Amino acid sequence: MGRIVVSEFVTLDGVIEAPGHEIHRDGKNAWALRGSGPDQQRFKVEEIFEAEAILLGRVTYQIFALFWPTAPKDLGFADRMNAMPKYVVSKTLQDATWENTTFLRGNVLEEVTALKERIDGEIVVMGSGDLVDALMQQGLIDEYRILVYPVVLGSGKRLFREGRDTSDLELVGTRAFSTGTVLLTYRPGDGASSEYEETFAWTEEQTRAWQAAQDTDRVLASVLFTDIVDSTGRAASLGDTAWRRLLERHEEVARAEVERYRGRLVKTTGDGILATFDAPTRALRCAFALHDMARDLGIEIRAAIHTGEIEVLEDDIGGIGVHIAARVLAEAGDGRIVVTRTVRDLATGTDLGFSPLGSVVLRGVPGEWELFEASTT
């Protein structure tokens, strides 16, 4: 009977993306290579020689198939990687460009269970974050070998995803390497229990006090989201340098307009902004100004505004009001300023016009929401 062993390079903040020279979305690649030493390399060589097969997801397979056939022959690692059986979970890949590759195209649970029955020994999973997530959900992982690197990357795909059920693991081994990287080996556990869970349980009074403290950070505000229309296409046509300069100019002018209308620029979102105002009319007039400013820069924006309760965090905002505004932005057409009915009902000004766009269901938000396109008459 085979054993599924997940072996991963992970940063302190849980990122597994681009440990080698493959492309990272923010250019933060090769962090594992920089943090590796000879003792670590010997461990990886021993691991791969002890394994009977490799199990991969589509993206990791494509990266490995490009690299390993011509990789340096360090301690025989590349030769072993090329020679051993590779199983790839993918319904879209057609050509096996790497020797000894077999595609698993059916149900993940059924295919991997059958694979474990056929192979006697370790089947190692490397990278393949989506596949690891699927295997974890199905209870198919027998061991986790997590090489934790002493680096905080700040962005990138993480190994363990949000929204999954709790999985209790049992620590069965630790090992420190010369670079400060630590190997943590886990196997599925039966669930943690401790006397301290009951000893330090909150009383009802403490819970109510906490809820009251949180409520003091909730305020009524008008939330404005914007983004640049077809930002990907514009970036491609302008080139990296010109696009970066345009974004810097856009942020500079947007910041000035938000201040002019007495709003708070909470943050920039890459190609847009998130801002709050104490009145929907100010938010609207700022959106109109941003719309005109964008055209002066040779770009077009869309905007969304909702007035509702938000949670004021230290350097950010949250709560249902923010979610609603973000979902409304997804409904806005190119160049449009779209608002909820709440904004339309509260805004004042004889030069303001609102054209109904109908009712929509906003993803993750209960009920139907009436939307309107705002304009100046």
Give the CATH number of the domain where residue 128 resides. 3.40.430.10
In this structure, the answer to whether residues 54 and 101 fall within a common structural domain is yes
pLDDT for the residue 357: 95
In this structure, the answer to whether residues 145 and 55 fall within a common structural domain is yes
pLDDT for the residue 239: 87
CB-based contacts of 137, cutoff 8 Å, min separation 6: 164
pLDDT for the residue 215: 66
The domain that holds 263 is classified in CATH as 3.30.70.1230
In this structure, the answer to whether residues 163 and 19 fall within a common structural domain is yes
Instruction: Please give the Cα distance from 109 to 138 (Å, whole number).
Output: 7
Q: Are 339 and 302 in contact (CB under 8 A)?
A: no
- The residues of the chain scoring below 70 in pLDDT are 214-216
In this structure, the answer to whether residues 304 and 346 fall within a common structural domain is yes
In this structure, the answer to whether residues 163 and 24 fall within a common structural domain is yes
Does 202 map to a domain?
no
Nearest to 152 by CA among 24, 31, 36: 31
In this structure, the answer to whether residues 38 and 179 fall within a common structural domain is yes
In this structure, the answer to whether residues 143 and 32 fall within a common structural domain is yes
- Total domain count, the chain: 2
pLDDT for the residue 232: 84
279 lies in which domain range? 215-376
Does 251 map to a domain?
yes
pLDDT for the residue 216: 64
Instruction: Please give the Cα distance from 29 to 33 (Å, whole number).
Output: 9
Element (H, E) at 130: helix 129-137
Does 208 map to a domain?
no
In this structure, the answer to whether residues 139 and 229 fall within a common structural domain is no
Q: CA-based angle 290:291:293, to the nearest 5? A: 60
CA atoms within 13 Å, Cβ hemisphere of 286 = 32
